[in-house]
Structure 1
Amino acid sequence: MNDANAAVITELDGHVLIVTLNRPQAHNAVNGDVALGLGTALAEADTNPEVRVVILTGAGEKTFCAGADLKAIARGEEMSPPGNRSLGLCRHGSAPNQQADHRSGQWDCPGRRD
């Protein structure tokens, strides 16, 4: 069961995982809690063979998602979950757990779009 006050709420409906960004007061802007909740929800979808579709939606009437929570960033809050600083990185590398940094162009990555 989900906490109605959680930053991200998930609901499994048959083979569909509904993931709701739940910060309508902040236009569902992404802060650390949303990043962690979204990552957890997507990991659940990836590991649960019953999940065939993921629907990402936002709570409230006005905005799906305003993007990064700039107020949280200005306060110095961490945007990535503890121990995970892979924002801006991808996992297109050929070796297990290898990451390509698209910003630096450090590794050749098939998903890179310069």
Structure 2
Amino acid sequence: MYQTLLTSLDNGILTVTINRPDKLNALNKDVIADLAAVVTEIESNAEIRSALITGAGPKSFVAGADISEFVGLSKEEGETLARQGQETVFNRIERCAKPIVGAVNGFALGGGCELAMSCHFRLASENAKFGQPEVNLGLIPGYGGTQRLVQLVGKGRALELMLTGNMIDAATALQWGLVNHVVPQEELLTRTRALLETINTKAPLAVAHCITAANAVFGASGEGFEKEIGLFGACFATDDMREGTTAFLEKRKPQFTGK
């Protein structure tokens, strides 16, 4: 049914595993399309009460986007890439009436950190690492990361992460409020499912209303997300973005000029 995902439904909980371990589960067009389809399945299948999203293998949740797909895109194409991802996947996960929890096993970088943040909350394995390293490519986060990171950890910490491109470990992510729990890797799925089993005993409409009300704290205008999409696209018109992505694919340090 899915090219890039493994799914299993047990006791009302759908486990969604992004299954590209050879690519550290990086997001490409196929993964985005499959995630959009699985959100539709979660929304429409009455047997699914809640879901968790994780990555295949011990190393990575999602290690970012597939940068090779960025090469040669125009400003408008960059905007479209961000908008389609946000509208078909990330915003829909956040607004889903059924709980979707991130079980972060390893690297959650760039689009992977953004995917984890779009979930209603997150658990991390002890080896998890989080970061928004887009600045190294002459880019900014484009799947809602500039907005959700500020919401979750505060402006100062969010800007430090985005401007340095540095990673933080699971213990720091817990201290900053980016994740709710840190557990040994072998217990990650068990502990995540246990929380969902508790939630699944609650009144489904009340659960849905909690999600809607909590999201309303941040306002429904979507202005910040629109701003991010426009600025993400603007990066594609810069020499620095072309240099950053080329350097990444050529495995060398970029030489940025501010143009």
Per the shorter chain, which TM-score range? 0.5 to 0.7
- Where do residues 15-94 of structure 1 align in structure 2 (5 Å cutoff)? 15-74=12-71, 86-89=84-87
The answer to whether structure 1 residue 10 and structure 2 residue 7 are counterparts is yes
The answer to whether structure 1 residue 110 and structure 2 residue 220 are counterparts is yes
Structure 2 CA distance for partners of 1:66 and 1:75, relative to 1, 3 Å: farther
Cα RMSD over matched residues?
Answer: 3.0
Q: How many residues align?
A: 89
**Separation of aligned partners in 2, 1:75 and 1:21:** 26
- Write out per-residue CA displacement over residues 50-96 of structure 1, whole angstroms, 9 at most, x where no aligned residue: 111111000011110012111233387x9xxxxxx6334457xxxxx
Same amino acid, percent of matched pairs: 36
Structure 1 residue ranges (4+ consecutive) displaced by more than 4 angstroms after TM superposition: none
Provide TM-score, normalisation by structure 2: 0.30
**Separation of aligned partners in 2, 1:9 and 1:62:** 17
**By how many angstroms is 1:12 displaced?**
1.0
**Separation of aligned partners in 1, 2:22 and 2:221:** 35
**Separation of aligned partners in 2, 1:19 and 1:9:** 6
Provide TM-score, normalisation by structure 1: 0.63
Q: Unpaired segments of 5 or more residues in structure 2?
A: 78-82, 93-143, 145-218, 225-259
Q: Find the structure with the greater CA-based Rg.
A: 2
Q: Unpaired segments of 5 or more residues in structure 1?
A: 79-84, 92-101, 103-108
